[in-house]
Structure 1
Amino acid sequence: MAKTARIALYSLVFASLCAPAGAKDKDKDLSTAPPPVYQGVLDCRTMADPAARLACFDKSVAAMADATIKKDLVVIDRATIRETKRGLFGISLPKIKIFGGNDDVEVNQIESTLTSAYSSRDGMAVFVLADGSRWKQTEGRDTFPKAGQKIVVKRGTLGGFMANVNGQPGVRVIRLAD
């Protein structure tokens, strides 16, 4: 490959790698702005004429209902966000604003009941929680867990997790794929 062709190719690759960084900043701004179908409802409030305002509301609410039926618009409340994040606790996900930038709802621990426990091939305990999630002990002392016992899984330091079974001292755990 000629030297100029290589330089052109490297320049193109470099430019394409830089482009997503700019797009990422745009996405960050969009995550805080309401969707256009929702903004249409908000814009109706500024109309002075009551008949025009009502017509605007009727039109924009119909568009919002249609978008909701088509799943183009999803309405979610804080309690649902909290419950979803609780269900995803321990699963490694990419850092995206999946909940519209609602990062003030953070789950640092879950409390549950063991539905079962068993030993894995390497002899470490696997805890099955009431929500169906499975957590495997990676190090620590023997826990001898039993179905029906309380378990608390807490976010530990450096991205790890600690589990306390039935009030016993914690053991290091990882979440297993469901």
Structure 2
Amino acid sequence: MRNFTIMAGVCALAVAGTVQAAKPVQLGTPAQVKRLMDCRAIAAADQRLACFDREATAMDAAIASRNLVFVDKEKARAAGRSLFGFSIPNFGGLFGGGEDEITQIESTVKSTGHNADGGWVITLADGSVWSQTDDWPGLDPRPGKKVIVKRAALGSFRLSIPGENGIKVKRIG
């Protein structure tokens, strides 16, 4: 009973630490962009133009020094898709979140092999490599077959071939 109490306390601390660490990053509008947009409020045309020139020059310098980086939504989704399955920080929703969160990918099997436990190692056409973590034997992942990898419970992933049972997997490459 004592071991159970200690273990429950350790688990509670681990969960509390995870909740603490999971606070979202506050993105907001970068100061350089805000200052540029604030120039629109200046009524006098010559002062407004001077403000735009000054702030555009400062923004150009920030971009050149890589202190300010722009990423369009499509590139962010492509990056999020290429990282699907890896345990990465949220980066304030840069790679999705909410309605844009990637919950599954679809691809085809490029090649297969076996891991040290005898489970499947499956390389997909997109270059991602997935290793089986359960002992379900009933999967036939021949090259060229369509597969779907979905987020599952407790941060796990499930790879399935339409019409067949799926297996639990983790991304290894």
Please state which band the TM-score falls in when normalised by the shorter chain: 0.7 to 0.9
Name the larger-Rg structure: 1
Aligned partner of 1:106 in structure 2 is 101
2:70 to 71, 75, 95: 75
**Secondary structure of the residue that 1:67 maps to in structure 2?**
helix
Using the alignment, how far apart are the partners of 1:117 and 1:167 within structure 2?
A: 19
Q: Are residue 161 (structure 1) and residue 157 (structure 2) matched?
A: yes
Question: Which 4+ stretches in 1 moved above 6 angstroms?
Answer: none
Residue 139 of structure 2 is matched in structure 1 by 143
Does 1:130 find its partner at 2:125? yes
Could you report, residue by residue, the CA deviation over 1:51-104 in whole angstroms, capped at 9, with x for unpaired residues? Answer: 11112112211211221121111111221221111112111123542629x633
Letter of the structure 2 residue corresponding to residue 90 of structure 1: G
* Residues in 2 aligned to 1:110 and 1:121: alpha-carbon distance in whole angstroms: 26
Q: Per the alignment, in what secondary structure is the counterpart of residue 141 of structure 1? A: coil
Q: Cα distance, 1:118 vs. partner?
A: 1.0
User: 2:95 aligned with 1:97, yes or no?
Assistant: no
Question: TM-score normalised to the size of structure 2?
Answer: 0.77
SS of the residue 1:68 aligns to:
helix
- Are 1:149 and 1:166, in contact at CA under 8 Å, matched by a contact in 2? no
Mapped partners of 1:84, 1:73: distance in 2: 18
TM-score for the superposition, normalised by structure 1: 0.75
Percentage of pairs with the same residue? 36
Name the stretch that deviates more: 38-47 or 165-174.
165-174
